[in-house]
Structure 1
Amino acid sequence: MPTALSSPPAPSVSDPPAYVRALEDKLSYLSPSQGALVRRAYEVGAHAHGEQKRKSGEPYITHPVAVAGILAELRLDHETIIAAILHDTLEDTPLTRVELETEFGEAVADLVDGVTKLDKLQFKSRQEAAAESFRKMLLAMARDLRVILIKLADRLHNMRTLGAMEPSARRRIARETLEIYAPIAQRLGMNKFKGELQELGFRAMYPDRHRVIETRIKSTLGNRREAMGKIEAALRTRLEAEGIVARVVSRIKAPYSIYTKMRTEHKSFVQVMDVYGFRVVTDSVMRCYHALGAVHGLYKPLDARFRDFIAIPKANGYQSLHTVVFGPFGVPIEIQIRTDDMDSVAERGVAAHWAYKSAGKGNAAQSRAREWVEGLVDSQSRTSSSLEFIENVKVDLFPDDVYVFTPKGRILSLPRNATALDFAYAVHTDVGSHAVATRVDKKLAPLRTRLVSGQSVEVITAPSAQPHPQWLDWVVSAKARTAIRHHLKKLQHEDAVELGHRMLDRALDQAGASLESIPVEELDRWLAENKFKRLEELLADIALGNRVADQVASQLVKVKGGKTRLRATRHAESIRITGAERGVLTFANCCHPLPGDAIMGFMSAGKGIVVHRLECPNVAEFRKTPERCIAMEWDRDVSGDYKVELRVDIQNKPGVLASVAAAIAESNSNIENVEYQDRGVMSAIIVFTIEVQNRKHLADVMRRVRRLGVVHGVYRHPL
């Protein structure tokens, strides 16, 4: 079968279709040689896609050409335009990467490959496939930001032509656009792309809501045109009087912006629309501040509604002065003041003044985008699940205006509701992992303290400190969440290896052998045959309940060349636990074992070892599979809090529940849950789920509760 490049091109070069001529008109900024390469890319793409059609019935090649046209409006380089024309060839045609690289160079081939989805692989669900494809695209973005520009243009054209899709597909694509691609465009500072993606996504996702809001906007603006014209004229006159050359334009809120503000801020349509918006664009930073003074001289500013994003740019490189003033008609006026360059960056973000070749020079949006992508790459390397990674990315895509300072004056941007612990991880992963407290504006504060813009934050660390599972409830940033989870998984693995080692040692001892007595070569061979790369993997597998220690010991003894000689199990050494093995051990909810109880372990595949009290009614059933039962006992030094259920028989009258709860709290025990088990006219039975340190602590709690005059009895539940 001939390759796509070896066959003659299908279309006539001298008579291109109208959509190709429209693209060429937009590419007048390219040199003739670059334009010829773009034309060749069209010929190759048109031939490769052949008779393929879109859902609308149009030739498929019209889509990649339209994507290239969107990018041409941003005046991107010829390699990006070529890659846009060919972006679906590797996925949907016989064209190969080698052929692309030979014809158009390695850079174009890398761009096309970066945009290509992972459809050839098998995934458990559509969501997992989409997440893994996004992860692949992210890695390509890290090498070349142009990958995401092509993908955004591809998504924008798909949204413009979404009408040909089935309703269910329209909603799915619209949701993905609103949750992922519009926020990415915003994160990259591409507000023009973001606005259109949000508008098209909102219209496809909620057509009725979009129609209602759009109709209300049109009717409202019709009544306000005269007032807006007067305000605009007053602004121009004042700026001219100050000798400031500037462009003044009115801003109209988009339906999606109004919808989200109504929903998140619980405002009515009238409240959201009761604001006039204007933009003042001038030629220099000094003129921006001069214009700000002129505007404040014309209209009085609202207190605490001024933001200087020129001195402190947003995370996506956006720069502007924002102020809200009292207007002449008794309504607020929102005014943005910026330079022409800032306006270009605000609209196009990373695509403004494109300077791909000089990675260190581009605009502020480009350098900040590279920092963001590099941070995501570091995050994804620590995340095993693509679905978990994409959820982290979603969190990171909605950064609100929280800007804080390091002690040296460096500005860090953090997401909405960020805490001091988020700040510590933003400084460096090691700083976050060893943080113990912070100083916020030179005052000591706990790690869970929420930060607000303008604060100065210093992190206090200790070499012995390490992440705690509770930290996951304190952080909102993807970087912090991923780093904490990675550390906890590492600790879990270490706990599993250590516990598995003890279990295997015990089983080998029962068989009259030890790990040291098995020749290294024989052990390595057995591990390889059973698909373990290292001994640690086997030990962790044993602790997680996927392998039975006695069976592994029996096989290893045979490998050694000996016979299994089981000693009397009655005198078998029990495995001692401290409670610190929480990542591997699970404490059964059916009997809630406490330090001091007689216990045993039961190996459950996938769950690891579940610890039960010997009095647990389920133990008799467990004994039917003795190979999964493990002799266990508590160590002398036990740490942590343990859940237990307390059954309290009380008089049924007002205030009793509060009295019992207060008695439990006074015993330094935390109440996790309260449930009425039985309730009569005179009495009631309540089951409290509480946390205690050991049996003695539980006895103290029960004694204090029993002293209450309204309590008939207190029992550990189940009995």
Structure 2
Amino acid sequence: MIDADDLIALVQNYNPKTNAKLIAHAYEYGKRMHEGQFRHSGEPYFSHPVAVAAILTEQQLDDATIITALLHDTIEDTRSTYSEIEKEFGREIADLVDGVTKLTNLQLSSTETKQAENFRKLFMAMSKDLRVILVKLADRLHNMRTIRSMRPDKQVQKARETMDIFAPLAGRMGMQWMREELEDLAFRVLNPEARNSIIRRFITLQRETGDVIQRITADMELELEKAGIKAEVLGRAKKPHSIWRKMEEKKIGFSRLSDIYGFRVIVPTEADCYAALGAVHQRWRAVPGRFKDYISQPKSNGYRSIHTTVSGRDGKRVEIQIRTREMHEVAESGVAAHWSYRDGVRAENPFAVDPAKWISSLTERFDTEEDHDEFLEAVKLEMYTDQVFCFTPKGEVVKLPRGATPLDFAYAIHTRIGDGCVGAKIDGIRVPLWTRLKNGQSVEIMTAEGQRPQVTWIDIVATGRAKTAIRRSLREEDKERFIKLGRELARVAFEHVGRRMTEKALTTAANHLGVHNSTELLARIGSAELTARKVIETLYPDLPQETGDEIDAARAVVGLNPGQTFRRAACCQPVPGERIVGISYRGKGVMIHAIDCPALAEVEEESGRWVDLHWQEGRHPAVHNVSLDLTIANDSGVLGRICTLIGEQRANISDLVFIDRKPDFYRLIVDVELRDIEHLHALMLALEADSDVASISRHRDLERKP
């Protein structure tokens, strides 16, 4: 464990004007608070906060962040309090320590709903002061470096959390070196065999080919010197996890993986970057499709660099990043570069991103998310993706994550453009909407009046912004359908009791039922959250809801001879309100068919058997069986809700048979007992309006003949 003087010396290397007294005081205070506490390794616990502070000095961070690192576990693990830290070190440091404490208590790898809410809290903490997450990342880095002293199950849990959350977050903040180290430390725990295998391959390769990095570095320095470019060339082999990921993505073995070495060329000016690129491409052949200019189109976290891949010695591919010294500092520190110090003053790096603007751009679209799963999906999409740069027909640049489609492009321009999208052209050629965009492409979006987002678009788009806009539009569209259906159901209910549906009546019912307004009332009726019958009962509590006596089911049909019996045909299942015809059968009475039943064609020439019939006028009982062909989503609770919805429509389920079972949908035949054709239409409308009902139709089985 380094002592206070050594830590202060590390800070003074980049900030001679540091408040050495305050850092020394924080060191002694933290040491005193953690006295008697030990880590799993047996070391004094305070060695951990000191190591975290030392990691942050490598980022050349301000005094407040270094002191926060020294005190970051005091509120949680010792008798220290927020008030005491505020009294000793000031409000700024107390708020930072409190922020880190709250982050530590978030269970980011818990269940989905809780994880989403905790991610929301994480982003809120970041939006208040990004230095909180810088301390937390350094804390996680030191814990991963010393993870061997933990129980095996705890090691796996922490490694998985690091791989899923902290490493991508460090990358999203532009701290690529930290992302790579966190990934590799987690990889060592989660898949040690794979990591050791890659390291062994590296050793074998080095033995066979010698020091490739040194040779290529020397070659590049020579070429740049010939071109009159002053440059520093840094070479390195890629981390084992980075190599493993490439092998998994490309489905190839180590021997076929070519770009396992990376080089950085650091030059004085931006003009030198492009001159160096020319010199490199003159000497070595560029690999098509592997060029990215992040200088003219910087990443949102401030990252600037030119990326190219060339075929080097023996045909081996080599990745090269070309940047200035200032760009390099931002590339190493990311958003943290905003707080870095040099010679006692905050470094004026023109490429450092304002953290407030960066976090605002990252979180603005998440604020509108009401659904936890959608929020979590959007956060992970933002954290895990790299970017591609495409152009509008006017030459404006649109930044999108890798894997984005023309639909993502459309929504990135404006929600209205996305909602109205009917097609797209890439570089002047019409392409499907699911086409994945590539760097430098020009994208033209075609729109049409009246076009609405489709449900299938959710699976096409890659950005959280597009997914959110599509879901919102679909919900609004559903609401419009529900309002329309609710208005029809309410109208029928009012007419059924001899009343006229008016806006005033609906508004009065809404007020009594605690609904915001009449429109919301109709939407709830249409979505089956509320029944039209309930509205009638609310407005007219003393009015008999069922007028007149029910018609005897045995006398429901008019036109039969005395003593003649009838049955409803099983093939077409006619119900009161439909036009019908009777077909007489010797010894079996009369079979009633709907007038449009295809089975009537078989007796078309036997006019003597046809009987002119119609239904009795009046209220029929709900005893007439009708089969419905339903396709519903295969999700938990859907079938139960559909059955409840049928019950709410005062229809009884007499039978239910599954016809087809798929992982995503079920198809089933449901037999329901209904009053009449109006009852059938109301039920089918209510079912059709449910978001989990893919299709509904009346099932007519012509094989079920008399």
Tell me if TM exceeds 0.5: yes
AA in 2 matched with 1:632 = A
Match of 1:219 in 2: 204
Give, as a single letter, the amino acid of the residue that structure 2 aligns with 1:465: Q
Query: What are the within-5 Å matches in structure 2 for residues 692-707 of structure 1?
Result: none
Deviation at 1:175, TM superposition (A): 1.9
Q: Is the 8 A contact 1:546 1:606 kept in 2?
A: no
Deviation, 1:244, is: 2.1
Corresponding residue for 1:26?
Answer: 10
Q: Deviations over 1:559-579 (max 9, x none)?
A: xxx5665435969x99xxxxx
1:65 aligned partner: 50
User: Which residue does the alignment assign to 1:246?
Assistant: 231
CA contact 1:53–1:60 (8 Å) conserved in 2: yes
Matched residue SS, 1:402: strand
Q: Unpaired runs of 5+ in structure 1?
A: 1-16, 575-589, 595-601, 645-690, 700-713
Q: Distance in 2 between matches of 1:534 and 1:120?
A: 42
Is the 1:440–1:456 Cα contact (8 Å) retained in structure 2?
Answer: yes
Measure, in 1, the Cα distance between the counterparts of 2:42 and 2:414: 53
- Counterpart CA distance in 1 for 2:399 and 2:200 is 37
Which structure has the greater CA radius of gyration?
2
Conserved in 1, the CA contact under 8 Å of 2:385 and 2:401?
yes
339-348 vs 231-240, greater mean Cα deviation: 231-240
CA gap of 1:524–1:164, structure 2 versus 1, over 3 A, is farther
TM-score by length of 2: 0.72
Shifted more, 271-280 versus 199-208: the winner is 271-280
Greater relative contact order (Cα < 8 A, sep 6+): 2
Whole-angstrom CA distance in 2 between matches of 1:97 and 1:211: 45
Say yes or no: does 1:617 pair with 2:660.
Answer: no
Alignment-mate amino acid for residue 7 of structure 2: L
Q: Distance in 2 between matches of 1:123 and 1:334?
A: 34
Q: Percent identity?
A: 38
Indicate whether 1:416 and 2:402 are aligned. yes
Cα deviation, residue 320, structure 1:
2.6
**Who is 2:547 aligned against?**
567
Change (3 A) 1:79 1:66: same
Deviates more, 1:441-450 or 1:165-174: 441-450
Identify which range, 369-378 or 20-29, moves more after superposition: 369-378
Residue 352 of structure 1 and its aligned partner are, at CA, apart by: 2.5
Q: Secondary structure at the match of 2:265?
A: strand
Asked if residue 87 in structure 1 is aligned to residue 72 in structure 2, the reply is yes
Letter in 1 for 2:353: Q
Give CA deviations for 1:510-569 in whole Å, capped at 9, x if unaligned. Answer: 678878777989975763xxxx677777766655555555456546655xxx56654359
Cα-to-partner distance string for 1:418-477 (whole Å, 9 max, x where unaligned): 111101111233432333333433455554443222112233445643322121122011
Instruction: Please tell me whether the aligned partners of residues 187 and 397 of structure 1 are also in contact (alpha carbons under 8 angstroms).
Output: yes
Q: Which residue in 2 is equivalent to 1:36?
A: 21
- The answer to whether the 8 Å contact 1:45/1:86 transfers is yes
Change (3 A) 1:209 1:382: same
Aligned counterpart in structure 2 of residue 233 of structure 1, from 218, 232, 236: 218
**Residue in structure 1 matched with residue 611 of structure 2 by the alignment:** none
- d(CA) in 2 for partners of 1:109, 1:540: 50
The Cα of 1:374 is off from its aligned counterpart by: 2.7
SS at structure 1 position matched to 2:234: strand
Which residue number corresponds to residue 163 of structure 2? 178
Question: What is the rounded CA distance, in whole Å, between the counterparts of 1:104 and 1:535 in structure 2?
Answer: 58
- Per-residue deviation at 1:335? 2.9
* Greater displacement, 344-353 / 431-440: 431-440
Displacement of 1:281: 1.7
TM-score, normalised relative to structure 1: 0.70
When structure 1 is superposed on structure 2, of 414-423 and 371-380 the one drifting more is 371-380
CA distance in 2, matches of 1:38, 1:319: 34
Query: How many Å separate the matches in 1 of 2:53 and 2:179?
Result: 18
Counterpart for residue 363 of structure 2:
377
Q: Distance in 1 between matches of 2:260 and 2:123?
A: 39
Displacement after TM superposition at 1:197 (Å): 0.7
- Aligned partners of 1:717, 1:243: CA distance in 2, in Å? 91
Q: Check 1:313–1:570 CA distance in 2 against 1; reply closer, same or farther (3 A cut).
A: farther
Which has the higher mean CA deviation after the structures are superposed, 376-385 or 96-105?
96-105
How big is each residue's C-alpha offset from its partner over 1:263-319, in whole Å with a ceiling of 9 and x where there is no partner? 110121112257554332221122222223333343344455444333333454333
Match of 2:461, SS?
A: coil
**Superposed counterparts of 1:263-274, under 5 Å:** 263-272=248-257
- d(CA) in 2 for partners of 1:510, 1:119: 62
Which residue identity lines up with residue 247 of structure 2 in the other structure?
Answer: M
The number of equivalent residue pairs is 604
Whole-angstrom CA distance in 2 between matches of 1:717 and 1:245: 89
Assess if the C-alpha contact under 8 Å between 1:512 and 1:564 holds in 2: no
- In structure 2, C-alpha distance between the alignment counterparts of 1:557 and 1:120, rounded to whole Å: 55
**Secondary structure, in 3 states, of the residue corresponding to 2:205?**
helix
* Residue aligning to 1:386: 372
**Aligned-residue RMSD, C-alpha:** 4.7
Q: Deviations over 1:563-622 (max 9, x none)?
A: 665435969x99xxxxxxxxxxxxxxx94259xxxxxxx996588735999997349987
Task: Please say if 1:290 is aligned against 2:275.
Answer: yes
The gaps in structure 2 that reach 5 residues or longer are 552-575, 578-626, 632-637, 657-668
Indicate conservation of the 8 Å contact 1:30/1:78, yes or no: no
Deviation at 1:630, TM superposition (A): 8.2
Give the counterpart of 1:156 among 141, 150, 164. 141
SS in structure 1 at match of 2:61: coil
Instruction: Provide the rounded CA distance (Å) in 2 between the counterparts of 1:426 and 1:258.
Output: 33
